Amino acid sequence: MSASLAMGAYGFYVWSSVAVFFFVLLIDTLAPLARRRRNLRELRARIARQENRRRPGTPPSNESNA
Amino acid sequence: MANWVPLWLHRLGSPPVFYRFAGAVRPWALGLALVLAGVALYGGLFVAPADYQQGDAYRIIFLHVPSAWMSLFIYGAMAVAAFVGLVWRIKIAEVVAMESAPVGAAFTFITLVTGSLWGKPMWGTWWTWDARLTSELVLLFIYLGVIGLYHSFEDRRQGARAASFLVLVGAVNVPIVHFSVNWWNTLHQGSTVRLLGPSHIEASMLWPLLTMMAATKLYYVASLFARVRADLIASESGKGWVRELLAHRDGSGA
């Protein structure tokens, strides 16, 4: 098993390739999920601001999760 | 042809329908992609025999070649979507084209880096200005140009239209990348797997390669759908369905 993990003399190159492949795709997977959550949060804050403008005097409800 | 196909495609052109469809498909595509990638890597890194010339270094092929295929495939998909978006002004097509670019750029980047890691032990150099390598680097710059142009406009749809033109112009590079190993005398080796005629590869090496190809295709679907969903929340934020979605999320404590 350790012999096959060493990949002959090429372990560094093979395993670096595997690492690059998964690292780049991991970032590519996480980035849009974070962006969607951020977009939802910003939209929620914007709606809350609009509500406050419409009914002045009411306490701002968006401070806690903005 | 049965008319439910165009009908279904037409319904899918509606942002809220696409949003829900993408949300339902994404986890399955990603899960299947992970399973297939695991199987392919097991087969490629441990089961397949070493190459008679390149030893174990050739195993980089199982990451490098599927990524390179995806760098061209995604460009093709992006060009079709950009064309549909420009001609028929279908918003979903514009969003699909624009959100394909980062995934394509990621695969192009992986192709260049894994190619470099393969080139060092086999050719003795990390990089050379060979036709295949140079045209692939140009492909990366086109992807980055598309992303940059899309985001440089205040108005998203205007940005998408400008960037879609760039996508169509940049499409000339795709056949150049593909045929570069035939048109020029390159250091890069020729095609191993061919659609027409016999492939120059053993079955024990071919199946992990094709399995990885399926995995990367599914991954593209998953990543694209996640990106389209994120994009639609922002670009459709004034629409009732996004407001309802938000109210529903808040109602369920999310």
Give a yes or no: residue B213 inside a domain.
yes
Give a yes or no: residue B120 inside a domain.
yes
Instruction: Select from B51, B157, B32, B43 the least CA-distant residue to B97.
Output: B157
| B223 compared with A66, residue with greater pLDDT | B223
| Contact yes or no for B192/B65 (Cβ under 8 A) | yes
ipTM, interface predicted TM-score of the complex:
0.91
For B80-138, the pLDDT digits (tens) are 999 999 999 999 999 999 999 999 999 999 999 999 999 999 999 999 999 999 999 99
Give a yes or no: residue B242 inside a domain.
no
Q: Which domain does B78 fall in, by range? A: 29-189+202-235
Chain A residues in contact with B59 by the CB 8 A cut-off are 7, 10, 14
Q: Any CB–CB contact under 8 A between B63 and chain A? A: yes
Give a yes or no: residue B107 inside a domain.
yes
Give a yes or no: residue B174 inside a domain.
yes
Give the burial class of B96: count Cβ atoms within 10 A of its Cβ; 0-12 exposed, 13-18 middle, 19 or more buried: buried
Distance CA B143, CA B82 (A): 13
The answer to whether A8 contacts B56, with C-beta atoms less than 8 Å apart, is: yes
Give a yes or no: residue B19 inside a domain.
no
Count of domains observed in chain B: 1
Average pLDDT of span B75-80: 97
Give a yes or no: residue B79 inside a domain.
yes
Give a yes or no: residue B5 inside a domain.
no
Render A1-66 in DSSP notation, one character per residue. -HHHHHTTTTHHHHHHHHHHHHHHHHHHHHHHHHHHHHHHHHHHHHHHHHHHHHSTTSPPSSTTT-
